Structure formats: structure tokens, C-alpha cells
């Protein structure tokens, strides 16, 4: 950081210049850049010498990735420092500043300064899934207060829960395999009021419906639900629709 600050002061000495706002007003303007960011979050802090002219009411910063071409700008008012966040890692940016008056008159650009943001050094992990696996639903299967993902393999009938911490995969556990691929998990809900998510299955060939009572990934029981042989009907959700504290099914 000491090296960065020294570089910033060196730039300030090199880049002090003058430009005209609107004739006959002449302004002296110096700008320096101090680049400081962790490896994965690029941001740049700019600072400049204030102008003493009473007509000056604010400053604007312009920047871009091509020298002499500035596709972005921000009005910082009377501030003489500005931090620009959300910049791309490993990219060279070019900056200039202007000042303006209350009447809308704006100066030309100051001297240009540039800096290159640090490269993103994080290891990128790609998680691949066999194409036969599809996400059937989500629920908190391990009671840690976080949403987990329920998968079913449409080729083998295997079923797996991924335990998640946000977008991070912490681990996984298998459920009972259901090799009859006519069965599909259509909803989840606490059907036996034990505070744990259960799974509602529907058979897409005969309209049978079954609830698995679950304790995490362990099936502790099951019960038949009235069949709906008309296969044009499908389950679209569950909830306590009549306020009795029990799970109902929306078709």
C-alpha cells in the first residue's frame, strides 16, 4: 500500500495541468489515482486538487477502457475524492476529470491518468451434473435453516439431496431409489405436521399419488393420497389454504 500511495503522489506531481472552463475562466486541475482492491473486487480511488475559483460548484469523473474514450461518468458534486467500484479485474482504465459551474458550463478534460486493476486470482470451480439428473424441488432437509436441493435421476430412478450453504455444496445423501420412472416428485410439504419436509409423488401413468413422510433423507412412513386418474391434472403447489395449520394441495 505504501508503494501505491507513493505512486499516487508521483502521479499528482506529473499530471497537474490547466484547462479552460469557458473563456475567460482558467482553472488549474491536478488528479492522481490510487488503485487498491482485493484480488476479486476491482475498485479505484481518485483524488484531485480542489479549484479555488468561486464559480466552480462541482466536479465530474469520466473513465473508460480505451485511452481518450470515456464511456462512463459520475457527478461527484464538491467532493475531491471518488471511489469507483465494480470495475473488471485485470483491466486498464483511463480517467479524466472536469469541473462545472452552477450555470451548467463545464471545463474540458483534465490530464488523463490510468491504472490496471489486479487480476482475479480466485480458483474457479465448475460443478458438472450428469444430464440424467434434474432438480425436483428444494427444502431444508437437514434443519440447518438453509435451503437444500432435491435431485432425481430420470434414467436410473436415483434420488439425492444436496446440502447447501447458499450456493456452496456442503455434502449430499441418497434417498430411496424409485426405479419406476413413471413416479415423479411433484411437491414437498410438512404433511404429518412434524416440522420436517415430506415428499408428494404422482404416477404419470395411472394418476396414483403417495406421500413419503421424511426425517431428513430417511423415509419413516408413507400414505396414499386420493388418486387423480385424469392425467391432464397436475400438482402446482402446496400450502395451508384453509388456515387449519395443515398442508393442502393445489391442482
Q: What is the pLDDT of residues 22-76, one digit of tens each?
A: 332 233 334 445 555 444 457 888 888 888 888 889 999 999 999 999 999 999 9
Q: What is the pLDDT of residue 165?
A: 87
Instruction: Yes or no: say if 172 and 162 are a contact pair by the CB < 8 Å rule.
Output: yes
Instruction: Yes or no: say if 21 and 64 are a contact pair by the CB < 8 Å rule.
Output: no
Residues of the chain with pLDDT under 50: 1-32, 37-40
Q: What is the pLDDT of residue 72?
A: 92
In a 3-state reduction of DSSP, which class is residue 203? Answer: strand
Q: What is the pLDDT of residue 34?
A: 53
* CATH 2.60.40.10, domain 11-117, yes or no: yes
Distance CA 215, CA 209 (A): 20
Domain boundaries along the sequence of the chain: 11-117, 133-250
Distance CA 228, CA 217 (A): 27
Q: What is the pLDDT of residue 125?
A: 52
Q: DSSP strand E in 37-182: where?
A: 42-48, 56-64, 72-77, 81-87, 92-101, 113-116, 133-139, 148-153, 159-165, 168-174
> Strand pairing partners for 58?
100
Q: What is the pLDDT of residue 41?
A: 54
What cell does 225 get? 393420497
In a 3-state reduction of DSSP, which class is residue 14? Answer: helix
Q: What is the pLDDT of residue 18?
A: 34
CB atoms within 10 A of CB 94: 18
Distance CA 91, CA 72 (A): 15
Give the helix ranges, DSSP H, for 16-90: none
Q: How far is CA 98 from CA 33, 59, 194, 218, in A?
A: 15, 6, 65, 66
Distance CA 104, CA 25 (A): 14
Cα–Cα–Cα angle for 109, 15, 57, rounded to 5 degrees: 45
Distance CA 78, CA 176 (A): 66
Amino acid at each position: 500500500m505504501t508503494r501505491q500511495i507513493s505512486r499516487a503522489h508521483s502521479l499528482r506531481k506529473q499530471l497537474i495541468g490547466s484547462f479552460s472552463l469557458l473563456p475567460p475562466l482558467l482553472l488549474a486541475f491536478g488528479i492522481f489515482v490510487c488503485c487498491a482492491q482485493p484480488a476479486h473486487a476491482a475498485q479505484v480511488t481518485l483524488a484531485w486538487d480542489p479549484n479555488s475559483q468561486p464559480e466552480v460548484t462541482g466536479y465530474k469523473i469520466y473513465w473508460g477502457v480505451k485511452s481518450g474514450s470515456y464511456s462512463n461518468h459520475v457527478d461527484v458534486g464538491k467532493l475531491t475524492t471518488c471511489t469507483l467500484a465494480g470495475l473488471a479485474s485485470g483491466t486498464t482504465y483511463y480517467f479524466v476529470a472536469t469541473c462545472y459551474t452552477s450555470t451548467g458550463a463545464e471545463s474540458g478534460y483534465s490530464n488523463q491518468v490510468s491504472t490496471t486493476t489486479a487480476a482475479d486470482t480466485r480458483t474457479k470451480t465448475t460443478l458438472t451434473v450428469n444430464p440424467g439428473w434434474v432438480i425436483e424441488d428444494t427444502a431444508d432437509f437437514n434443519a440447518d435453516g438453509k435451503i437444500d436441493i432435491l435431485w432425481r435421476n430420470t434414467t436410473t430412478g436415483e434420488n439425492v439431496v444436496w446440502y447447501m450453504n447458499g450456493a456452496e455444496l456442503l455434502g449430499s445423501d441418497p434417498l430411496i431409489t424409485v426405479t419406476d420412472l413413471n413416479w415423479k416428485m411433484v411437491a414437498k410439504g410438512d404433511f404429518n405436521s412434524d416440522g420436517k419436509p415430506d415428499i408428494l409423488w404422482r404416477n404419470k401413468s395411472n394418476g396414483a399419488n403417495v406421500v413419503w413422510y421424511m426425517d431428513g433423507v430417511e423415509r419413516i412412513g408413507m400414505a396414499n393420497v386420493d388418486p387423480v386418474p385424469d392425467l391432464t391434472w397436475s400438482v402446482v403447489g402446496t400450502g395451508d389454504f384453509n388456515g387449519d395449520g395443515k398442508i393442502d394441495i393445489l391442482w
